[in-house]
Each structure stands twice: as C-alpha cells, then as structure tokens.
Structure 1
Amino acid sequence: MPMNLIHRRLCRSDGWVRGVRETLMPWTLDGVDLGDDVLEIGPGFGATTRVLVDKVPRLTAVEVDPASVKLLTGQFPSVTVIEADGAELPLLDNSFSAVTCFTMLHHVPSPAEQDRLFAETFRVLRPQGLFVGLDSRPNLRFRFIHLFDTMIVVDPDTLPRRLEAVGFRDVEIAMTETRFRFRARKP
C-alpha cells in the first residue's frame, strides 16, 4: 500500500536490510519450521525475501505494488512473484506449508481488509500449516516514518481473537517495545 518517500528510502536502505537479516528475521523465525512451500505476502522491496529464499525449498511472493513486483522478479529468479492483493489471493486452497508477512500488516488499508487477508491466508494454508509474521507497535519514530502513508496499526492484544475468528488455533504473540511477532496454526 502507499508509502511516503522517506519510508520507501528506509525500506531500501542497507541498514534496513542488515537489521532484517540480523535481528528481525532471526527473532521472528526462531524455532519455526516453515516447511517446503512458503508464501510471503507483501515483501515490498524484498529485504525479508532475501532471508526466506535461502531457508525454504519453494517460495512464492504476492505483492500488490507493480513496481515492487518488477523489482522482486528481477532480484529473485527462483521465486514465483505474483502481482495480487493479499486479501484476494489468486491461489488454490490448501497450497502452502506456511504463509508469512513481515512489517506489512499496518499498510493494509482497514481492519476489515486485514481480516480478509487473514481469511485468505487460512484458505491457502495446508492443514497444520503455519501463519508467521511480524509487525510494528506504534511509537514516535514509527508514526513519523509513516506520515501520509497507509498506517492501520494491528493491536497485538486483539490479534489472537481476530485470527481465531477465521479458524486459526495455537495463536502465539511475543512482543518487544517496538515490535510483535505472531504464529498461528491451521488445524
């Protein structure tokens, strides 16, 4: 979803890529087996994709922004990149061992749209598949970076109920002062 110029520069920076690789992804994926066929929703400029591509045998990325789709396709020839909305996935039911989304839920334009993304995630996961992700908790820096962006913050306290409402079980949330990770399983 729309991002201002400062935000776009930050997400393309070497510092962000390094932080994703060295801090965010290890914390988010600690102890998680993603399986053999993973879907990443909303990879943007691909910082998280760089980590996932070396961790899983098959990776599909769904990205709504056409420019990012072109960038991802050029950077990651082994990844299937699809231009689509995460709330309307053009994918078959029960297809993936895991679905991931990292630092992108707050760019989904409404809670209702976020819930549709959760329902679509549930639909495309295989039984026993995992939904794994990371997002931000609001603070002054986060709000500044997102001036004039789409920014609908996900409340980690209500996220378990929202995920359970579409069918997920075994929902786990872990938080730091600025971020939270989540894990949920399709029964």
Structure 2
Amino acid sequence: MNLLHRRICRSDSWATRMHGEVLPWVCRTVPLDGDVLEIGPGYGVTTRWLTEKGGRLTAVEVDPDLAAGVRASFGDRVDVRTGDGADLPFPEASFDTVVCFTMLHHVPSPLQQDRLFAEAARVLRPGGVFAGLDSRLSLRFRLLHVGDTMTVVDPAGLPDRLRAAGLADVEVDTAPRAFCFRAVR
C-alpha cells in the first residue's frame, strides 16, 4: 500500500466509519459468535470490531509486519497467523464463518482471488458463511491506489465466481462506492 493508503487505513475516521456504518451493513446477517476467520485484517481496524462479537477469532495476514502489529494489539484474544488467504494453513471445515473486508482488490490477480474464494469454502464447515466487502471502481479509488496492487472485483461477476469455488446461496449488495457479499458452504 502507498503512504496515503496506509494513513487512511490506520485513521480514527476510517475506524469510525467502518465500525459505525460499513461493518454493520456487511455483517447484518452474518453469524459472528462461533469460530470466525478473518482474511487480511491489515492494521486490525475490522479485527477490533470482530473481537466484540463474541466469536473465537483467528486472523490470517500476508504481510508479516502487519500480522505482528495485529498480534501485538490483540494478544491472546485473536489467533493471528502470517499466511496467504489463497493457501490457508487450516484443515477443511475449521470455521463457522470466514470474512474479508476491503482487501480483495489487493490480491494480485483474479486467479489468486478465485483461489482465496476456494480456500474460504474449503475451511468453512457445512452451512458456514463466507462474507465480505470491497470497493467499486471509481476515479477516487484508482487515485488512492497509485503504486498499489489493485485488482478490482466486478460485483456483477462475483456470484458465478463464488459458486465456482463451491459456495451457494450467494447474495451481493451494492452501494455507490462498495459492495458486500454473503455465500454459504
């Protein structure tokens, strides 16, 4: 992530918006009281919100420095692993819920995104929910990502991609700047 992007993702205003508006919208029908896996917590803004929902939380972060920061922030309240969401270090059917927030566009290719979707499906228990959020393409979004990895997910094509990964009952909800999704194994 570039410097501006890092500053925004660590800011109090970003946390306030995520906790007060975005995460309640995304997770309105997502069970968060069981074994929950968060893929790509970044600086831990979303992780902080998830820790208050009562589940047993595990987080996987590809960036070792960010993983260390999340680990230091939450101690034993969150099992933080350094790893790739497209190659999760967990056995099949380990989690009730898998979530990812504002990170899919940082996955370097659609093929890697599809591997992440398949891994999320693999580690979910039958009936488990995979849910998340990402941004929609806009000039502002593109400018924010100058020098960053930016592989935008088309919300219109997402249902087919999630079904191909082994998920069902796919729902996608769009807003002007973002979209959220929910699917079931």
- 1: CA distance, partners of 2:134 / 2:54: 21
- 2: CA distance, partners of 1:32 / 1:166: 19
Q: SS of the residue aligned with 2:98? A: strand
Code of the residue aligned with 1:5 in structure 2: it is L
Code of the residue aligned with 2:151 in structure 1: it is I
Using the TM superposition, give the Cα deviation of residue 139 of structure 1 relative to its aligned residue in structure 2, in angstroms: 1.1
**Matches of residues 1-150 of structure 1 in structure 2 within 5 Å?**
3-77=1-75, 78-150=77-149
Using the TM superposition, give the Cα deviation of residue 34 of structure 1 relative to its aligned residue in structure 2, in angstroms: 2.8
- 2: CA distance, partners of 1:140 / 1:50: 30
- 2: CA distance, partners of 1:110 / 1:183: 21
Code of the residue aligned with 1:76 in structure 2: it is F
Q: SS of the residue aligned with 2:142? A: helix
- 2: CA distance, partners of 1:119 / 1:32: 19
Q: SS of the residue aligned with 1:81? A: strand
Code of the residue aligned with 2:6 in structure 1: it is R
Q: SS of the residue aligned with 1:16? A: helix
- 2: CA distance, partners of 1:31 / 1:57: 15
- Tell me what 1:154 maps to: 153
- Tell me what 1:168 maps to: 167
Q: SS of the residue aligned with 1:114? A: helix
Using the TM superposition, give the Cα deviation of residue 141 of structure 1 relative to its aligned residue in structure 2, in angstroms: 1.3
- 1: CA distance, partners of 2:55 / 2:129: 16
Code of the residue aligned with 1:149 in structure 2: it is D
Q: SS of the residue aligned with 1:76? A: helix
CA contact (8 A) 1:37 1:56 kept: no
- 2: CA distance, partners of 1:35 / 1:132: 14
Task: Give the 4+ runs in structure 1 shifted more than 6 A.
Answer: none
Cα root mean square deviation, aligned: 0.7
How many matched pairs? 184
Unaligned 5+ residue runs, structure 2? none
- 1: CA distance, partners of 2:29 / 2:55: 18
TM-score (norm 2): 0.98
TM-score (norm 1): 0.97
- 2: CA distance, partners of 1:60 / 1:93: 15
